[in-house]
Amino acid sequence: MPQPSPDHPINRRAFLGASAANAAGMAAAGVVGWTGVSAAKAAPSERVTVGVIGIRNQGKTLGTVLAAFPDVDVAALCDVDEGLLPEAAREIAPLQAHSPRLETDFRRLLDDPALDAVVIATPDHWHALMTILACQAGKDVYVEKPVSHALDEGPAMAAAAQKHRRIVAAGLQQRSGAHFRSAVEFIRSGKLGRVHLAKAWTAHQRKSIGFKKDAAVPAGVDYDLWLGPAAARPFNPNHFHHNWHWFWDYGSGELGNWGVHLLDLARWGLGVEYPSQVAAAGGKHHFYDDQQTPDTLLVNYTYPGKTITWEHRLWSPHGQEGRSAAVSFCGDRGTLIVDRGGWKVYGQKDSATASASDLIEPHLRDFVDCVKTRSAPACSLECGRVSSDLCHLGNLAYRVGRNITVNPATGTIDEAAAASQIARREYRAPWTLT
């Protein structure tokens, strides 16, 4: 089935029969461990009812922004750590004059026929599977970055979104920022001349996470559900809230944390998709602690006539050009540097500039509007998939210790790299990827 498009709006009532017919087969063809499936409803014309899954930090921010929209009802909040739920509800309730219901199992949200869409703001290792389940349940999806945790998840997500005709938006909010859009327009206008190189970086002075021993699961935490498809391991507080970013089972390191935003911007400005070669070098040079992912990393992405480079240093306070997280586009007539504070052109007599713009609110506004109209989001699943795959390719090249050859047309990798266990995910039973 074709993806929803602005030229062919889709009314969900038209597919009630098809959804009901498919429901019986979803348990067998879907994910083992959950059989509840809600038939897709008509696209809401006035209000969009949303549930938020994962409400610590980013999820709570997304929920509060959505609740402030006059045409959105944040009806449910979900987190495996029940201790986080009351505070989030207290912040959201005044914005919409009622309190959302609270759940600890995301499957209760997916099986709720009143919900039009879900926001997924969990650790990375849950993004793909929850998106697929939500699509099967007839929900539209806003999924945080990176949209996947491994290269093999993207195609399965795309197949689910296409089969069930769901709107899936990726949480790369810079795609909705006015000053990022104007920067890309300037680059593509030819005013920088021929642009052959985009350099993306982040330099932060993060703190060590130290060493922590395995411990008892905290009260009120469903740890087995938090692990989900990840390997069974004893609870360790260093793997939990936020620090999961730095462990391969749950996160993607700084590439998946900050890099996905900046690499997305770099390839957007250059107008490229998948590279032909990826090379990486770096290591855990500075921190002596539990984290597994590199604190220092350089990645080169090779395209015909163009190159994207990535650099992160998590122990250094001074970034390139004095900016801690940015992208520079180098042309033969000037260089444009852009970050969340704005952009400026260097090397030209009359240097063009732009100030910062809002990001999260317009990005969520775009998602809500797309749920109503069935039009393509500012950052679609496919857009988010390619940028997320750049992170996975960089991490893979670093972990296998050699260059990775990529088919630019498909994003698939060479046989030797594909054979690596770290190029794909092994799902823990009873969860399976379809």
Which tens digits make up the pLDDT trace of 39-57?
A: 344 455 689 999 999 999 9
Give the pLDDT band of residue 6 (cuts 50, 70, 90).
very low
Higher pLDDT, residue 341 or 34: 341
Instruction: Provide the pLDDT for residue 424.
Output: 81
129 lies in the same domain as 185 = no
169 lies in the same domain as 187 = no
Instruction: Provide the pLDDT for residue 124.
Output: 97
Q: CA 355, 359, 365, 370 torsion: positive or negative?
A: positive
Mean pLDDT of 206-216: 97
CATH number for 103: 3.40.50.720
137 lies in the same domain as 187 = no
- In sequence order, the 6+-apart residues with CB closer than 8 A to the CB of 326 are 200, 201, 262, 319, 320, 337, 338, 339
In a domain, 1, yes or no: no
Strands 48-53 and 72-78: parallel
Which residue, 421, 33, 59, 58, is CA-closest to 249? 421
CA 100 to CA 116: how far, in whole Å?
Answer: 15
pLDDT digits (tens, 9 = 90+) for 372-398: 999 999 999 999 999 999 999 999 999
User: Which tokens hold the place of 354?
Assistant: 């732009």
pLDDT digits (tens, 9 = 90+) for 393-422: 999 999 999 999 999 999 999 888 877 777
Q: Is 315 exposed, middle or buried (0-12, 13-18, 19+ CB in 10 A)?
A: middle
80 lies in the same domain as 113 = yes
Q: Is the pLDDT of residue 36 over 50?
A: no
CB atoms within 10 A of CB 402: 13
Give the pLDDT band of residue 14 (cuts 50, 70, 90).
very low
| Residue 117 backbone phi and psi in degrees, to 5 | -150, 160
Instruction: Provide the pLDDT for residue 150.
Output: 94
In a domain, 429, yes or no: no
Q: Are 151 and 413 in contact (CB under 8 A)?
A: yes
In a domain, 327, yes or no: yes
183 lies in the same domain as 170 = no
Which residue, 286, 262, 282, 248, is CA-closest to 392? 248
Q: Is 424 exposed, middle or buried (0-12, 13-18, 19+ CB in 10 A)?
A: middle
Query: What would you report as the CA-atom Rg of the chain, rounded to the nearest whole angstrom?
Result: 21
CA 123 to CA 146: how far, in whole Å?
Answer: 10
User: Which tokens hold the place of 373?
Assistant: 């109209």
Side chain identity, residue 311:
E
CATH number for 350: 3.30.360.10
85 lies in the same domain as 197 = no
Cis peptide leading into residue 377 (ω within 30°):
no
In the Cβ-directed half-sphere of 131, how many Cα atoms lie within 13 Å?
A: 39
182 lies in the same domain as 112 = no
CA 373 to CA 5: how far, in whole Å?
Answer: 9
Number of domains in the chain: 2
CA 150 to CA 13: how far, in whole Å?
Answer: 34
In a domain, 321, yes or no: yes
164 lies in the same domain as 249 = no
Q: Is the pLDDT of residue 210 over 90?
A: yes
146 lies in the same domain as 267 = no
User: Coil, strand or helix: which one is 399?
Assistant: helix
Strands 325-331 and 306-313: unpaired
pLDDT digits (tens, 9 = 90+) for 228-267: 999 999 999 999 999 999 999 999 999 999 999 999 999 9
Q: How far is CA 105 from CA 31, 56, 65, 289, 433, in A?
A: 15, 15, 23, 32, 19
Instruction: Provide the pLDDT for residue 44.
Output: 57
CA 222 to CA 1: how far, in whole Å?
Answer: 37
145 lies in the same domain as 185 = no
What letter does residue 366 receive in the DSSP assignment?
A: H
31 lies in the same domain as 118 = yes
Instruction: Provide the pLDDT for residue 418.
Output: 78
Q: Is 318 exposed, middle or buried (0-12, 13-18, 19+ CB in 10 A)?
A: exposed
The DSSP line for 210-278 is ------PPPTTB-HHHHHTTSPP----GGGSTTGGGGSTTT--HHIIIIIHHHHHHHHHHHT--S-SEE
Instruction: Provide the pLDDT for residue 423.
Output: 80
The DSSP line for 113-172 is TT-SEEEE-S-GGGHHHHHHHHHHTT-EEEEPSSS-SSTTHHHHHHHHHHHTT--EEES-
In a domain, 390, yes or no: yes
The DSSP line for 23-44 is HHHHHHHS-TT----PPPPPPP
Give the pLDDT band of residue 17 (cuts 50, 70, 90).
very low
pLDDT digits (tens, 9 = 90+) for 151-180: 999 999 999 999 999 999 999 999 999 999
* Whole-number percent of the chain with pLDDT over 70: 90
294 lies in the same domain as 403 = yes
Average pLDDT for the chain:
90
Range of the domain at 245: 177-210+225-357+386-423
In a domain, 219, yes or no: no
In a domain, 108, yes or no: yes
Which residue, 179, 172, 113, is CA-closest to 143? 172
pLDDT digits (tens, 9 = 90+) for 313-349: 999 988 888 899 999 999 999 999 999 999 999 999 8
Instruction: Provide the pLDDT for residue 185.
Output: 98
In a domain, 185, yes or no: yes
